[in-house]
Every structure is written in C-alpha cells, then in structure tokens.
Structure 1
C-alpha cells in the first residue's frame, strides 16, 4: 500500500499509517484505515464516504463504499487510542519549534438538517454565527507558536438528547454517556490530558468557558494556570477594595465565618474598572507577525480578586491578573481576560500567551476546509467520532509535513509531491463484496464524483503557512 513519490512522502505517510495500525485493533482494518486517510488528505470538495470511495477505488466503488462505511460507522476501534498515537507521532515535529505552551479549549459547530443525526439540536453555531440546527463538539488542542494539534474531541449531547432513550438507542450513544455541559466536558478533557502525561501548557479559553467559575477553580486545583475570557459584567475586588470580614461572634450559636458586603463595600465590574483606569497604565503591545505587519493593540492589566458569590465563602478568592484590550479608535474596551499566570510575568509575555488562542481558529479552519471534518454524513455516535479522529490524524500528518515546504512558496503554488497509487493496489472488498452495513449512515447527498476516470496522480491537501491568520472565527 505504499505511495510512490520522489520526495519521500510515500515512506513518511506509510510509516504514519502503520503507526495507527498498531492501535487500530484488527488487521482487517488496516486497508480501510489507509484508504480513509488517503481520501482525507487528497484534494476534493467533499470528504464524505461516497466520493472518497470513488476516488480510492474507482473500479470497485460500491464495495469500497460499504467497506469504508463499516470501518467508520461500525468498527469498534478506540478513538482515544488513535488520538494518543497521533499525538505521540506528531507532537515531536511540533516541539522541534519550541515546547508546548498552551492547552486550548473550544467548541465548533456543524450545520445539520433533520432531527436524527446524533446530538443535533437548535443551538448556537459558530460557523453560521447564529442559533440554528447543528451538532457541536468540544475539543482540547495542544499548541505552540508553530502549530497546534487536537488531543481530545467529544460531541456535546444536548439535554433533550441525553434524556431520549429511543433516539439514543438509534444513534448508538453509549450507556455511560450522560448529559454534561460544555465546561464539564472541557474539564474532563483537561483532567484526561493531565492523567495521560501530555506536555503541559497554560489553559486558554474564550468567555463561553472562562465565565464558568467552577471550571476555572477546577483548573487551578489541577495545578494548571489559565487565561480565561470573561464578560464585561464580571465583578472583581481591586487592591483598594475588599469584602468585609465575618461578623464578630456574639458568643451564642456558631461563630460567623462568611464574608460580607454593604453599600460601601461592593465589587466593581471589569468594564467599570477599565473605564476608570488612568491613561498611564495603557500600553501598546505587539505579540506576533501578521500577514502584512506585526499585530498590536492597546492593553492594561491589574491585580484583582474575583467576587462571584464570594459572600458564600469564608475568605476571598486568590488574586490574579485582569487583562483588558482597548484598541485605538474603539469607544470602549473590547475584550477581558482573567489569568493565574505568575505575578512576575512580563506584560508582553502575558499578552503573547493570551493571543496564542488564535491557533484553535487555525485548527478548525484546516480541519474543515482541508480534511473534511464537517463532511461526515452519518447519524451515529461512533461514526461521528471515528470520522473526526481520522480527520485529526490526517491533519496531524499534514502538520508534520508543513516544515518540508520552502517558506518562500505561497500556499497556492506550493504543492506537495504528487502521490500515485501503484499498479496492483486493490482496496479491501475488491475480490469479494464486503458485508453490507447500514446505508443510512451516509444518507445525505454527496458531491458528484466522476467514477469512470481513474486519476493518474493524486496530490496532498495543503495547510496554511504557520504564520498566516485564519480568515474566519469559530465560536
């Protein structure tokens, strides 16, 4: 199953797939694994099963279609095991450019029609920028300034789905899966990454996760630092203010232990605090090279204690950084973050790490545009996760290949060497028809593919240059 090219791509790709074969389980899964990965990394408008079957086995498309459907939708191989192996093979290539600096938590949506695909519901979809019918998945990516790689990935199952036994059974949702909020899923992923011994970094998250006090507290309990986006109405105590201590004990009953507030001792919103800061504390800071010039904006920072429901506590929460961004020309600040990074961290380094969260936008842009993360047309839990796992594997291979491309060449004129399927290569199922699986897994219409012409050469999909910012924003 080797791919023949002049630059060594065939041996690197074959070695990569063989590494996945070592954790995929049954030997019969090696061929569909190879074919599925080939289908994902080759250029094409649609990376769903039918067009990939037509490209990888044009002479036996129907048998190949069933083989790939069964492999992605039914085979009981471990997503966690494959993702761990991908990390083992790809992280060294990323770390050659510097240590892992961040764990980035985020979620992404996939527009979906109908009501039967697992987890589909009317909810916010970042790809559309509004509420609509979609599926949403939560992920944890490991990143440095060179690249990033998703290490954890799980579908968010809305409450109406988690409570519907009939729909759960039809979609194959495992019995142990119960309703969990997105922050709860994120915390499970962070805890799993800690237990797996993955190289640690500061946890980066937007306000969708950062506003969750329990999540921030739990991250600190795992001995991790974070930079968490928050909303303007988040309340804090400054160094000049503090809640009142517990009342003096009268000698009767239990001694009072809870913090107090009165009309003179009230926390302040981070927006109000930002608007009151003197001009001298604002600094213009540059953090990385953009497409045309080095990116910069205006920031201020202050030491604060979060006030969220601390009247239920016996002591104030630990002091941490509040970082505020107020770009020139804007009427008011645009972004706010809380961070447990060390008090001694420089202003520039704090901004640099905060802004590293853009890497998750790159993850999702390349995963969706180059390897078809959102192209799965099945309905089941297992198929949804298997397809995503293989997309992450393909993305990981392309990340490791990125450094073989001369930086002077543009994305559009910088092809990988062509990959040619060798003579004699026959996909699994060519000798005899594979057992029919479930055609409803790929029910949606796929892009039309010419099945009569076998392409002489195949080319790899391309990722964006490492320093190119994404052109859209996920949720």
Structure 2
C-alpha cells in the first residue's frame, strides 16, 4: 500500500501525466489535435464513470464532443506509433529480466453489424456467444506492477472476406485473416524485436500449442501455456515414463506428487491450489543465453482446486532445474491481465469506444493503454523511493549550511 503523502501523490500525478503528454505530442501534426489527445487522456483518467465523447468533452470544457471524436476519426496519426510509445513507457517503469508476457483476449459487446470486427462469437466477458468485437492483448507483468503492452482487433473471416465491410471501416488493404494465436505470436515477435526484457510467456489454452510454443523454444523463452485435458504428453530421454492425455496422467499421479502452493496474492488473500509437475524431457536450446542454462526441460504442470478438485493443465518449457514454485508463480501472473481488463473497462473506458472504424478502435484502445501505463507508473513511483525533483533539491540545498563540504543537515550537525 502506498505510503506517499498527498502532496507527493499530486506531484507524481502532475509530473507523470505531463511527461506522457509530452511523449505523444510528436505523433500529431497539428498542435490542436495534440491538445485534444491530451484532453482525451485527461478524460480517461477522470472521475466520470462513462468515458463517452460527451462526458470527456464536458470534463475538458468543450462545447461538444467534436474535438474528441476528431482524435479517433478525422485526424491523421498512427495508432501503432502510440502503441510503441506505450511500450517504451511500460518498459521504463516495470522492466525486469524475469518478467512475464501474458496473452489473453477480451470482448467488447456491440449492437448492430457496422462496427469493425463485430460478429456473433464467443467471449468470456459475457460467458456466451453474442454480438461483439474481440481484442487480443499482451500485458507486461513484473514484481513492479503490470500494464498493457500490445493489442490487436481480431477480424473474423466474415470480415476479412467482405470487401464492402472492409472499405466501410477502413481496414488496411493488405490485412489478411489471422487467428487469435497468430495475432498473439506477432505481439511476442514484436516484443522480442524491440528488446523488451522478459523471460516467460503465460497464456490460457486458446494460445497453448502450435506456433507460439515453437517460437518461444527457438528464442529460449520459458512458458506456462494452458492446454486442454485431452492434450497428449509423452516423456523421453532418461525421464520417468509418462504417456497419455493430460487428464489421464493427472489421474494416475501418486497422492504424494501434489504440493499446496500459492499462485500469488489475490483480492481475498493468497490463492492456494494443489500442484503437480511432470518433467518430460531435457533438451538443449538452440539459442545461447548468458544467464540461463543451455539445457531446458519440457514438462506438464497440473493445477487442482482445493474446493472442488477441478483441474487445469499447462505445457511448460523452462531452464533445467527450475523449481515448481517458479512455474506456479509464472502461471499465477496470468491474473494480472484479467485485473487489467477489469480496471480498463470500469475505470478507463476501455469498452466505451464509440467509433466504427479499424483505426478508431486501435486509437481508442491505445490511448486507454497509455492511461493504464500512467497509472502503473504513478503506483510504482508512489510505492518506491520518493522522486527526486528540483523542488526537493532546492529544499535540501536550503537546509545545508553554506560552505559545509559534507553537505550535512545543520540541525543534525548540531545534534551530534
């Protein structure tokens, strides 16, 4: 919990928000649009529960929502350039070498058929098949906090194969159909290409097997990826014999194979489950790493609920000798993106996008990502050492006795 004073918190908010606006100003050719984008960011971080154009305009003192709408629609600027600014902001704030990149999706409920990507499809946000858009996201999670790092709007084939709908919503001409795992893989590759420091990837069973798994092995990145109960596993090369489906292997485990461990602290305290881990094979990685073993282990991780014994299964890849506790902690980091979705929707207007276009969706979501990154930086700075500001430096200098070579506090010098 933050121990920073109200004065320090206000100073943090002012400084960090101003810095964020300075970072994005070069993205806009017209100063007026840059100011509107800054006001848009203010509105997202404001107290209004609904972040609609009218609400944001009222908070900004505008007579109507037109300037706010122009930021998302009529003006010319690159949402991907803003995404890159957000990434730099997040890495500067939260970077750790053992951070986890978490992949997941969320739904945006919509009426009608005109909004880009809207389709009758399943979304966990509603727990059913309904009319919605689906966004795929990557979040960066470290011990310093978490924030969104990347995003993409999923377009069903009903959209990518329809030239009329594509033209009406300004979908880029070269954009082809991509599955959700393919969108996630692009985000992983983009994070690696831009030297984002992370050691692990965590995701649910939608992203658990296939291209993502192979790409992470090539790059010597560890993973804990969800798989279906029917997914098959086999052991080899000097490991205990294991063969069958994930469910079948878990059924056959000795009671002593299970350990009760916490997957991290939640809103109601530590989140304890029973866990079991089967090592399947030790293999040499193709990519050399400075700080990690050249021999890595492929395995099966099983989580069992204490209350109802329901199980979840994960394929794992990690440096040889990695502890079960470490794998559990990596899997536990997945909760952070769920919290980010909830905060984004309830506090920052993530699902209050009123545009229908491809670029409108990405602009709106990228601005929300920046607002979330601002929150993450304020929280991290508030919980860390007090920031060094010029005002504080002046106060310190005023307390130092003139000519005192040690720069000591005169009161302390007198006391001693």
Q: TM-score range, shorter-chain basis? A: 0.7 to 0.9
2: CA distance between counterparts of 1:218 and 1:146? Answer: 27
**Is the Cα contact below 8 Å between 1:203 and 1:224 reproduced in 2?**
yes
Of 158, 165, 168 in structure 2, the residue corresponding to residue 167 of structure 1 is: 165
Instruction: Specify the alignment match of 2:73 in structure 1.
Output: 73
Of 319, 336, 341 in structure 1, the residue corresponding to residue 318 of structure 2 is: 341
**Is the Cα contact below 8 Å between 1:74 and 1:383 reproduced in 2?**
no
Of 284, 297, 313 in structure 1, the residue corresponding to residue 273 of structure 2 is: 297
Deviation of the 1:55 alpha carbon: 2.0
Of 201, 219, 226 in structure 2, the residue corresponding to residue 222 of structure 1 is: 219
Q: Cα gap change, 1:25/1:223 in structure 2, threshold over 3 Å: closer, same or farther?
A: farther
Pairing 1:142-221 to 2, within 5 Å after superposition: 142-210=140-208, 212-221=209-218
2: CA distance between counterparts of 1:365 and 1:329? Answer: 25
Which secondary structure state, in structure 2, belongs to the residue aligned with residue 218 of structure 1? helix
2: CA distance between counterparts of 1:73 and 1:151? Answer: 23
Q: Cα gap change, 1:88/1:272 in structure 2, threshold over 3 Å: closer, same or farther?
A: same
Deviation of the 1:92 alpha carbon: 2.7
Higher relative contact order, structure no. (Cα contacts within 8 Å, ≥ 6 residues apart):
1
Instruction: Specify the alignment match of 1:93 in structure 2.
Output: 93
Deviation of the 1:267 alpha carbon: 4.5
Deviation of the 1:145 alpha carbon: 3.0
**Is the Cα contact below 8 Å between 1:102 and 1:142 reproduced in 2?**
yes
Of 40, 60, 63 in structure 2, the residue corresponding to residue 61 of structure 1 is: 63
Report the RMSD for the aligned CA atoms in angstroms.
2.5
Instruction: Specify the alignment match of 1:268 in structure 2.
Output: 244
Deviation of the 1:43 alpha carbon: 1.1
Of 31, 42, 45 in structure 2, the residue corresponding to residue 41 of structure 1 is: 45
Q: Cα gap change, 1:151/1:240 in structure 2, threshold over 3 Å: closer, same or farther?
A: closer
Instruction: Specify the alignment match of 2:229 in structure 1.
Output: 232
Higher helix share: 2
Deviation of the 1:319 alpha carbon: 5.7
Deviation of the 1:220 alpha carbon: 1.8
2: CA distance between counterparts of 1:167 and 1:16? Answer: 35
Instruction: Specify the alignment match of 2:253 in structure 1.
Output: 277
**Is the Cα contact below 8 Å between 1:145 and 1:356 reproduced in 2?**
no
TM-score, normalised by the number of residues in structure 1: 0.72
Deviation of the 1:289 alpha carbon: 2.9
Deviation of the 1:88 alpha carbon: 2.1
Deviation of the 1:240 alpha carbon: 9.4
Deviation of the 1:343 alpha carbon: 2.6
Instruction: Specify the alignment match of 1:328 in structure 2.
Output: 306
2: CA distance between counterparts of 1:28 and 1:140? Answer: 31
Question: Does residue 1:28 correspond to 2:1, yes or no?
Answer: no
TM-score, normalised by the number of residues in structure 2: 0.81
In structure 1, the gaps of 5 or more residues are 243-264, 306-317, 408-475
2: CA distance between counterparts of 1:346 and 1:15? Answer: 40
2: CA distance between counterparts of 1:103 and 1:319? Answer: 20
Deviation of the 1:304 alpha carbon: 2.6
Q: Cα gap change, 1:126/1:52 in structure 2, threshold over 3 Å: closer, same or farther?
A: same
1: CA distance between counterparts of 2:344 and 2:223? Answer: 25
